Amino acid sequence: MENLHKILLEWFAQNARKIIWRTPHTSPWGILLSEVMSQQTPVARVEPLWQKWIHTWPTPAALATADNAQILRAWANLGYPRRALRLKECAQMIVEKHDGHVPQDVEQLLALPGIGDYTARAVAAFAFGHNVAVVDTNVRRVYARLIKGQFLAQGARKAELADMQQLLPEHNGPEFSVAFMELGALVCTPKPQCDQCPITAMCAWHRAGCPAPSEHELAQAKKRVQKFVGTDRQVRGKIMALLRESTQPVTKEHIDLVWPDSVQRERALNSLLDDGLAEKTPAGTFQLPH
């Protein structure tokens, strides 16, 4: 696998996207923010908001005492806004339990609010240089094609994590991991560009003649595609946008204008109240939480 490591690292050096947080000067807190903000969100949308966040709240201590409404406005239209408030809870625990410093250990990172296995491993690897496997959707897809000869990943995630750990070089593990991810993001995409791939000669799927995915693979992939238009998530987003953009509490009549289906609209509004993303005032109007 040494040749794989060498080729992929050289390819990454020539082809990597220039992403704002990919610099040696980015703090562990900045890396943690970037990973949480990038979940299910394109990097191009994240970069300007990440800049604003890291400028406004450059440390966990700064975010830990921030106003919830300000946090949600700064989150803007990134989607899944519960992530923003979970980041505040995460910052508070970092201050309380770790003296304001992002912990390095995967298990300690996993204990933080809103931090799952992928994010914990990504922070340990990319912020602190630990040689731990980092597996996201792109990695799973590249690994499935390169090693297993499958067009789409089908294995259990725990097994894939162990497999990727075995694939890591003894040194430069984090660099290899980010290069592996980048290949999946730019070349080995759901519609692969094999003519641009630096490791085609090593790819089991390509050597097998690039077989088309089975009906089962296609069905599984279709299940993973999340619909947005017409869903409660879209309605929630419209209500949140109204609350973010208003400097005053919003009347129920204004909320009623954002979506025609009254049953779905009420369900979306109530779910925002339950999630702590909106609050009802004594006057019966609605606003972002404080």
Catalytic positions? 35
- Cα separation, 37 vs 75, whole angstroms: 9
Strand blocks (E) in the chain: 279-280, 286-287
SS3 177: helix
What angle is formed at CA 125 by the lines to CA 100 and CA 186, rounded to 5 degrees?
A: 125
In the chain, the amino acid numbered 143 is Y
Q: Among 175, 226, 131, 234, which residue's Cα sits nearest to residue 22?
A: 175
Backbone region of residue 124 per phi and psi (left: phi > 0; alpha: psi in -120 to 50; beta: other values): alpha
- Cα separation, 178 vs 182, whole angstroms: 6
